[in-house]
């Protein structure tokens, strides 16, 4: 069985602070995918990143960075110099390597990030 744990239910920081959202996963599969999605107040989730289990390189995209550590089964997400527009609920997700589409995609419960001006 797959499981994704986002222990931080809600985080509140002041604008321009750095913030890290934690994600810990469990899977018996040796190959898998990990994801982050953002849900702004408008409601629709937006895909941010996909990482496959073969690739443990960290990734940076502008103010966003992701730290994948297979040894600790973690895929943490850091926002540098946070902005009010980053306020949203962020979901981490795990997917079996086999199967196309969103087959076997498991979401965490989400972290509500509040950026105060």
Partner 1 sequence: DGGITQSPKYLFRKEGQNVTLSCEQNLNHDAMYWYRQDPGQGLRLIYYSQIVNDFQKGDIAEGYSVSREKKESFPLTVTSAQKNPTAFYLCASSTRTRLAPGELFFGEGSRLTVL
Binding site for partner 1 (CB under 8 A): 9, 33, 35, 37, 42-47, 50, 91, 93, 95, 97, 99-102, 105, 107-110
CB of 53 to partner 1, least distance (A): 12
CB of 19 to partner 1, least distance (A): 20
Residues 6+ away with beta carbon under 8 Å from 4: 23, 24, 25, 26, 92, 93, 94, 106, 107, 108
Nearer to partner 1, 13 or 97 (CB): 97
Nearer to partner 1, 77 or 110 (CB): 110
């Amino acid at each position: 069985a797959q499981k994704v744990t986002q222990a931080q239910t809600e985080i509140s920081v002041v604008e321009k602070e750095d913030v890290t959202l934690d994600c810990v996963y469990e899977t018996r599969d040796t190959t898998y995918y990990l994801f982050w999605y953002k849900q702004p107040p408008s409601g629709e989730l937006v895909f941010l990143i996909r990482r496959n289990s073969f690739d443990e390189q960290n990734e940076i995209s502008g103010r966003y960075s992701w730290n994948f550590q297979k040894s600790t089964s973690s895929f943490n997400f850091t926002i540098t110099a946070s902005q009010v527009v980053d306020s949203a609920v962020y979901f981490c997700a795990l997917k079996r390597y086999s199967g196309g589409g969103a087959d076997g995609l498991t979401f965490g419960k989400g972290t509500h990030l509040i950026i105060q001006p």
